[in-house]
Amino acid sequence: MGQSQQTESCEKIDVKALQDMYKKFVVECPSGLLFLHEFKRFFGVDPTGEASEYAENMFRAFDKNGDNTIDFLEFVAALNLVFRGELEHKLRWSFKVYDKDNNGYIDRDELRSIIDSIYRVKKSSKPNSGESQMSVNEVVERILQAVDTDGDGNITMEEFIRGAQQDPWVLNMLKLEMNPAGWVLEQRRKSAHF
């Protein structure tokens, strides 16, 4: 019984957040198209800040047709996934965010760039967390060992999904990417205070 109330409450929050974002989309993008610089401004991301690269990767993943804009349908589909998607769908989406060159696999350099970006965003959101961290290269090597089952130095979507579902450490290391809803809400909260 308590769980159903919690689910209901989450859905109300999600619907309210979606409604607020729709209103903001219409006001800021009367043309119906959202460009990268507008996307960053929409979520209050400093173009040179720690979250900039993360926002660019999200933008690219949301831009389904590759026209360097996000139309309202892409926006709604992305927000639906962000707020309500199942783990496997979020993993598929995250893989697309990580696969910057869109060649169907994540190579060592892409993985290093992702982990570096995650570290920078986490550090800026919790500057004095004091937790000891592995280096970016150590994390990259451990993730490759955990999920690169064929040992070719590249991670396919299937390896990525299987590895993240089977290894809680891998999922935890990538949780910033796995929680785009949290990132979206955090950016909205930050921009509301300005």
CATH code assigned at 78: 1.10.238.10
Query: What pLDDT does 45 receive?
Result: 73
Query: What pLDDT does 109 receive?
Result: 92
Q: Retrieve residue 32's tokens.
A: 């119906």
Query: What pLDDT does 28 receive?
Result: 76
Q: Retrieve residue 17's tokens.
A: 């957040």
- CA 63 to CA 90: how far, in whole Å? 15
First to last CA, the chain: 39
Query: What pLDDT does 11 receive?
Result: 45
Burial string for 172-184 (b: 16+ CB within 10 Å, else e) reads ebbebbbebbebb
Query: What pLDDT does 132 receive?
Result: 55
Query: What pLDDT does 141 receive?
Result: 94
Antiparallel, parallel or unpaired: β 105-107 and 70-71: unpaired
Residues 6+ apart with CB under 8 A from 102: 96
Query: What pLDDT does 7 receive?
Result: 41
Domain span including residue 158 = 2-192
Per-residue pLDDT of the chain (194 residues; tens, 9 = 90+): 444 443 443 444 467 777 777 787 788 778 888 888 888 877 677 777 667 777 787 888 888 888 999 888 887 777 777 667 788 888 888 888 888 888 999 999 999 988 887 777 666 555 454 445 789 999 999 999 999 999 999 999 999 999 999 999 888 877 644 445 555 666 556 655 54
- CA 23 to CA 94: how far, in whole Å? 26
What is the total count of domains within the chain? 1
167-168-173-176 Cα dihedral, nearest 10 degrees: 120
Query: What pLDDT does 138 receive?
Result: 93
Query: What pLDDT does 126 receive?
Result: 56
Query: What pLDDT does 139 receive?
Result: 92
Contact present, 88 and 161 (Cβ < 8 Å): yes
C-beta atoms surrounding 90 within 10 Å: 19
